Chains A and B, each alone.
Chain A
Amino acid sequence: EAGVTQSPTHLIKTRGQQATLRCSPISGHTSVYWYQQALGLGLQFLLWYDEGEERNRGNFPPRFSGRQFPNYSSELNVNALELEDSALYLCASRQGAYNEQFFGPGTRLTVL
């Protein structure tokens, strides 16, 4: 069974640009979570999608947005990039009722 996949592996952008990150969940999983892992800030929840709807978002500005497609894959968009957006962005998909989340390898975003 394939795990959670994310693309691209690395992404380099300049300040003010937009970044798009993609995630494919494990087959059969309908929930996708996005987390940001920035140096010194730990793992912080960004967004949660389930059945195509945004269910919850963390304490991030509106320039962080996303969507979930009918096949349950998801996209994270970051507009007007700032230097502090440089981080590893992790996607996870959830199995069952106990919120067991499985993570992808992440996308390393570097903002110059």
Chain B
Amino acid sequence: AQSVTQPDIHITVSEGASLELRCNYSYGATPYLFWYVQSPGQGLQLLLKYFSGDTLVQGIKGFEAEFKRSQSSFNLRKPSVHWSDAAEYFCAVVPKGNTPLVFGKGTRLSVIA
């Protein structure tokens, strides 16, 4: 079955430290890939997306993600975390076409001083 796995339910990092959130997908072909962020009680904001081409994609708020076909992964990174980055992060995929997004369970990020 098609699925998206975010192995880490909760991650805590110190402000200024680097961050990597993991995402693995299970699809027959490379889907379109997205990372969204959700602050408490809010909707989802699109951080970045991958459709094709360069496997390292840049997004908003200083985030980047790298697509690795051999590992079926699309990990999100940030070199220096700010306290305002504390939120829930969702990886999502969609097979090529107009079908609905399939989301991972999310990773909650806490940032400590």
Q: How many A-B residue pairs have CB under 8 A?
A: 59
Of A60-68, A72-80, A102-110, the segment with at least 4 beta carbons within 8 Å of chain B is A102-110
Contact status B98-A90, CB under 8 Å: no
- Binary B-proximity of A5-33 (CB < 8 A = 1, otherwise 0): 01000000000000000000000000101
Contact status B36-A58, CB under 8 Å: no
Which residues of chain B from 22 to 43 have a CB within 8 Å of any chain A CB? 32, 34, 36, 41-43
A109 vs chain B, min Cβ distance (A) = 13
A56 at the interface (CB under 8 A from B): yes
B46 at the interface (CB under 8 A from A): yes
Task: Indicate the size class of the contact surface on chain A.
Answer: 20 to 34
A22 vs chain B, min Cβ distance (A) = 14
Which of B34, B44, B46, B100 contacts A48, CB < 8 Å? B100
Task: Indicate the size class of the contact surface on chain B.
Answer: 20 to 34
Q: A98-B49, A98-B51 are in contact. Are A104 and B98 (CB under 8 A)?
A: no
Which of B42, B102, B105, B106 contacts A105, CB < 8 Å? B42
Which of A31, A42, A45, A106 contacts B43, CB < 8 Å? A106
18 cross-chain CB contacts under 8 A: A4-B43, A6-B43, A43-B90, A43-B101, A43-B103, A43-B106, A45-B102, A50-B98, A55-B98, A90-B44, A92-B44, A99-B98, A100-B34, A101-B46, A102-B46, A103-B43, A103-B44, A108-B41
List the interface of chain A (C-beta within 8 A of B).
4, 6, 31, 33, 35, 42-43, 45, 48, 50, 55-56, 58, 90, 92, 94, 98-106, 108
7 new A-B contacts, CB < 8 A, other than A92-B44, A99-B99, are A35-B100, A43-B106, A50-B98, A98-B51, A99-B94, A102-B46, A105-B42
